[in-house]
Structure formats: C-alpha cells, structure tokens
Structure 1
Amino acid sequence: MITAMILVLAACSSGGSEDAKGSSQQAAESSATNAAADREKTDADASAEAETTYPVTVSNYTTENGTWVAKEQTFDKAPERVVANTQGAAELMIRLGLTDKLVGVAALFGSVPEDIADEFKKIPVLAEGYVGKEVTIGASPDLIMGRGGLFEDADWGVGTVNSLNDMGIKTFVQSTSVTDASLDSLYKDITELGKIFNVQANAAAYIEELKVREEALKARASAETINYASFSDNGDGTIAVYNGNGDTFIESAMSLINVHNMLINETGTLSLEKLIEINPDVMIISRYAGGIDPQETIDKLLANKQVQSINAVKNKKIYVIDFNNFWGYGDSIFTGVENLADDMGL
C-alpha cells in the first residue's frame, strides 16, 4: 500500500509539474507578446515625440544690467539661415545634421575634428576671429547662435539679443556659456536645438553617445584630487594667470576625471605670487590659432627661478589644451578632457 501511494503521489507530482510548465510557458509567451507590443507602442510614441509641431517655443537667454535672464524664443518654422558666432557652435550644428542651415561661422581658434572637417569646410567663414554685428547681419540670418559673451554691440560682438530680436532675427545663446553652466547645460542645448530644427531623434541619439563618453571619463578619474591653474603669455615676456571664474561648464567637465580649477572662485587680475601661493599640482595652457606657441611660454615658465617651488613646475606637469575644445562651449569639451586625461596618464 505504501509503495502504491508513493507511485500515485509521484504521478500526481509529475502531472502537476507538466501543468505548471505549460502554464509557465504560456505566461512567458504572453509576457513576451505584451512586451513586444509595449515596445512597438513606445517606439511609436518616441517617433511621434521626435516630430516638432510649429510654432515651438524654447526658453533661452538675454541680458539685463549685465546679468543673464530667461527670454523665450518662438519659431514658426525651422530656421534656414544660421550664423554661428564660434567654431564650437557650428560643430554642434554639424553633429545634429544641420550643416546646410549654416550661412556663416566665426572665431576659428582651434582644431576642427577630423570626422567633420569636410562638412565644416562647406560653411562660409565670416571672420577668422570674432565677427562684428554688421558682417553678421550682412549674411541675412534668421537665427544667430553661439557663445553668450559675444552677443554684444561691440566690434567683436554680433549684437545684443534684444537688438537682434527687434530686427526679427531669432537668437540662441548656448546655456553652456552663461552663469552656473554644467554638462547638463550641454544636453539642454542639444535637446532645444533638436526641437527648433525638428531633429529631435538626432539630438536624443547624440546625447546618448555623449553620456557614454561621460561614463567612460568617470571610470578614468584620478583617485586623488588634482588641482590645476591656467596660464597664458602676456606677449611681453611675462606670464598671465587666468582664474576661469565664469567657466563652470569647463569645471563640470573636468570634474569627471577629478581635476579641479583652484582659482575658479577668484576675481580680478592674479599675480605670479598668487600662483606660487596656491601651488597647483598641474598647470594648463591653451593653444589657439594666431596665438603664441604655448611651448615657448612653457619654456619661459620652467626657466623662471621665481616659480621653481610650484609643484607643477617642479614635476613638469604642464599640459597644452585646445582652445576650441574648452572655450567653444560645445560637445568637443569631451575630446578636450579625454586628450588631457591621456596626457596625464589617467
């Protein structure tokens, strides 16, 4: 009897197991079907969201009494004639597939990335250096975009935001170039440009690419904090110390590898004595078109007996960066930080 009961229980257990397997398989198939349907719906929703419905309004900037404040810009259609007031702004447009919209670029102070060099050559150059308002308007733009500090009524400026808007010309100030900017500001700029030009899918895809690079840089971060100071050549044989007080975007990017600007909270002109006092681990000098060869300036610094106590000088940890990568306020900040990490052996 005991043997018979065992056999009966085994049979019931086996049947229950087979039933459970069947139910489990059916549930899995149903779940997979539902997941596929959800993915199709999500893709369809994403596709719908990737289309801009005009008119579209984005939040941007203007200045009031020297302070950046919010100002909306409304677009009835995608702009057709765009002037980029810096090389970095033009490069960002190219990355989003918008080369054909550019009718002018200025401030060509650094290297153009090889992978977009041919596209960049298609853009009319309004000025090798900074471009003035008259020349800018002469290109008949319907949008002027780029670095905020160049939206001024000056020989080197494209005109103020308000004056250009009064003329019917839309403006887009890169949020990376205004107060309290960070890498999130770059992602915001890309998203907003995606809306304005109806290339939202391109913008989203490019942000994902950049975020992968962001994570890769974080993985390379120095275990110990590395403090740096920037310097340049005054052109008269003396060294200029740069505080980088407003360059929070650069600080945000450099912090990915745990490298920080020691002078970011300093104001005014800084002396060589101040540099000796703060004693940076690393010193950085930028290379830009038309400027003094940075190696000449480095040689002067290394030969200066007054600064021999500075750690960066003692250990010869002085690095050259590309001006456009860091002061183009665009996506090439990643290339700049990656190159610096390479040079520093991170």
Structure 2
Amino acid sequence: MSGLVKKGTFLCLIAAIVFVLAACSSTNNGSNAADKNAQKPADNSAANAPTDENNGDEAAQGAAQTTYPVTVSNYTMANGAWTAKEQTFSQAPQKVVANTQGAAELLIRLGLTDKIVGVAAVYGHVPEDIADEFSKIPVLAEGYVGKELTIGASPELVVGRGDLFQDADWGVGTVDSLNELGVKTYVQGTSVSGASLNNLYQDITELGEIFNVQANAAAYIQQLKTREAALAARASAETINYASIFDNGDGTVGIYNGNTDTFIESAVSLINMHNMLIDETGTISLEQLVELNPEALVISKYAGGIDPEQTIAMLLANEQVQSINAIKNKKIFVIDFNNFWGYGDSIFTGVEALADDLGL
C-alpha cells in the first residue's frame, strides 16, 4: 500500500454484504442474546488454563476422551433472539459443512479437514500454513450458500456463523429446520451478540468434545492464549477510537456501526482500540462521522469486492471529511473480512496486523 495508508486486512461486503449484516443484526440484537451468553459460562478449564507452553502440552496430553452420546448446549433463533438449544451427538460427525471460511479454518486447526464436505463464504486470504488442507475442501459457494446446496452435501452437522442459519438465498436454513431433517447444528458462540474472546475458547472446547479431539482443542487454546497475552502487552497507552466505513459503489461512503460485533470489540480491545459507533443506531451520516471525529478508520476487503484503494482515494478527495483526525493523520487501515467476520481464531491474525500498522 502507499505511504498514505497502512494495511491490516478487513473486508467490506459493500451493498450485498452490508445488507446481510444489517438484516442479520436484528436477529443478533435483543437482550436474550446477551443473557444467553451470560447464562452459558466459558469452560473454566480452558479459560483458566496455564499459558506456559510446557504446561499447555501437559494439559493437552491429559485431555479427556469423549464418551458418546454427548450433549452440548448451543443456540436456536426464537422470537428474534438466540436462545439455548441442546444438540446431542451419538458419535463424532463424519460429514460437516462449514458455512464460512472462518469456521472451516478452525476445524482444520483441530485436525478435522477430512470431515469437512463443504465450505462457503470464501472471502479472505487462507493462511499459508493451512492452505493445502483448505484446498482439499469442496467449495459449495464462493459467497454465502443456500439451504439446497448445503443439504445436497449430505452433512451430519452444519457449523458456522449464526446469522447465516436462516431460510434465505444466502442462508443454510434455520437451526430448527435443519434439526428436523436430522442435521445437527453448531452456531459459533462468537457470532452471537454479547460474545467475547471467551466464547472462542468455549467453541473450541465444545468442538473438541463433539469430535473427540479434546487434546487438539486444549493445545490450540493454549497457543491462542499466548497470542492474546502478547497482544495485550502491546496495547496502546491511549484508547484508539475507530469507525468502520465501506464503499457504496456509487461514489459515496457508507458507515457501519457494528452494533452486534461484540466479539470483534472484545478482540480489538486487547490493543486498546474501540469501535466508537457500536452503540449508535440507525443510519450514520457522513456529517455525523465528521462530528464524532474517529482517530482511525478501517475498511474491509473481501474477494470480489471493491478495491479499498479506490475507496481510500475517494475519501481523501472528499473535502467534507478532511477535518477527521483519521484522515489528517493518515490512520486508514484495510483489514481482511475473514479475519474479523469469520468468528474464529483468525481474529488474532487481524488484530496482530492492526497492532503492526499502528506501530504498537
């Protein structure tokens, strides 16, 4: 990227993606969703596990074996809010569909590549260390996948982002409708409003139990906790208030409030960044953005989307926004959509890139 802008890597789905995020935010918003996360505590053994590398190895070696049937408390949508719904597994699923790239990557990290019969929403860069494994997975759709294609893969389990569990062209089907067909579901807790990094560790722990790869799960949690601690040690001395923007595709800039992105907020807070729009509702105008005066701007990038450099050039040429500190100080960052909206372990890669760009 040019000297004007430093890159992280965050994707913006412009009109279509923003529509999905906006449409789905109503399903994630609601006090019940936050209450659900409060009622479903993170696994204590994962949250309190030692961060020492050797102790992590010992924890992994001492991990339990799953005794089937095993039941986990997960989610379903009821009256516009996520509520608890149990999923019982009589054995480890052998055929799994991941409704996003991020969900597939997480399953690969747990050693489950051979169980994945389909992936969709391949919007970001696949990490080099798992690129070969990822290439083995059938791509059901480069974008979001519908229920027909999902069921056509004959999955025993569908795993992934919560707001894609809907009966829509871009949805895999609701939790209840899939369950009625005999297909188990696992909604990533990270994708439910009210989530934090603790939900990532809980997701990994529960997937480890479902697939009887608890040793892999315990070891990977330790690796991620080490990265979490390293990021916290790099935190900015002052809070960095940022706003997310996107290209409307018609020569204008849109602003995304990220009301339901509590998981992302939890992750960026490690380096003392804060989404200053997270409590804003309704459409945010450019005039409001100027008044709010964010110290940093982030633009999401995704495969097939508008080139962020085009958006940046348009922004820098707009006289209306030149008083914004992020513009004046050239604090505009491009971040990878999959890292942040994959709701998986790649959130650390995204935040690490932001920390690098900020010089932390």
Separation in 2, partners of 1:113, 1:297:
25
- Cα deviations by residue, 1:118-173 (Å, 9 ceiling, x for unpaired): 00000000000000000000000000010000000000000000000011100000
- Distance of aligned partners of 1:49 and 1:316 in 2 relative to their CA distance in 1, 3 Å threshold: closer
- Pairwise CA distance, 1:45: 9.8
After the TM superposition, which residues 30-179 of structure 1 pair with which residues of structure 2 at under 5 Å, given as runs? 49-179=63-193
Distance 2:181 2:130 in 1: 33
CA distance in 1, matches of 2:171, 2:162: 10
| Identity across matched positions, percent | 77
- Looking at both structures, which has the greater relative contact order when contacts are Cα pairs under 8 Å and sequence separation is at least 6? 2
Of 201, 221, 224, which aligns to 1:207?
A: 221
Taking structure 2 as the reference length, the TM-score comes to 0.83
The equivalent residue for 2:254 is 240
Q: CA deviation at 1:277?
A: 1.1
Higher-Rg member (1/2): 1
Select the residue among 246, 264, 278 that pairs with 1:250: 264
What is the deviation of 1:48?
6.6
Q: 1:194 aligns with which of 202, 208, 233?
A: 208
CA distance in 2 between counterparts of 1:46 and 1:203 reads 8
Which residue of structure 1 lines up, in the alignment, with residue 306 of structure 2?
292
> CA 1:44–1:340 in 2, change beyond 3 Å: closer, same or farther?
closer
Alignment-mate amino acid for residue 88 of structure 1? G
Is contact 2:59-2:219 (8 Å) kept? no
TM-score for both structures, normalised by structure 1: 0.86
Q: 2:276 aligns with which of 262, 276, 283?
A: 262
In 1: Cα distance, 2:351 partner to 2:345 partner: 11
Residue 302 of structure 1 pairs with residue 316 of structure 2: yes
How far apart are the structure 1 equivalents of 2:218 and 2:150?
30
Equivalent in the alignment of 2:289: 275
- The offset of 1:47, in angstroms, is 5.5
State the SS of the aligned residue for 2:140.
coil
Coordinate RMSD, CA, aligned: 1.3
Task: Indicate if the aligned counterparts of 2:296 and 2:326 stay in contact, CA closer than 8 A.
Answer: yes
Q: 1:315 aligned to 304, 315, 329, which one?
A: 329
Q: Deviations over 1:25-53 (max 9, x none)?
A: xxxxxxxxxxxxxxxxxx99976752000
**Are the aligned partners of 2:259 and 2:277 in contact in 1 as well (CA < 8 Å)?**
yes
Corresponding position: 1:330 with 2:319: no
The SS at the match of 1:126 is strand
2:235 paired residue number: 221
Q: Distance in 2 between matches of 1:76 and 1:46?
A: 24
Deviating 4+ runs (over 6 angstroms): 43-46
Give 1:269 shift: 1.4
- Counting matched residue pairs gives 304
1:77 and 1:48 map into 2 onto residues whose CA distance is 21
Quote the offset at 1:225 in angstroms.
0.6
- Partner AA of 1:219 in structure 2: A
Q: Which runs of 5+ in 1 are unaligned?
A: 1-42
Q: Which structure shows the higher helix fraction?
A: 1
Matches for 1:13-28 after TM superposition, within 5 Å: none
The residue type paired with residue 178 of structure 1 is V
- Name the aligned partner's letter for residue 250 of structure 1: I
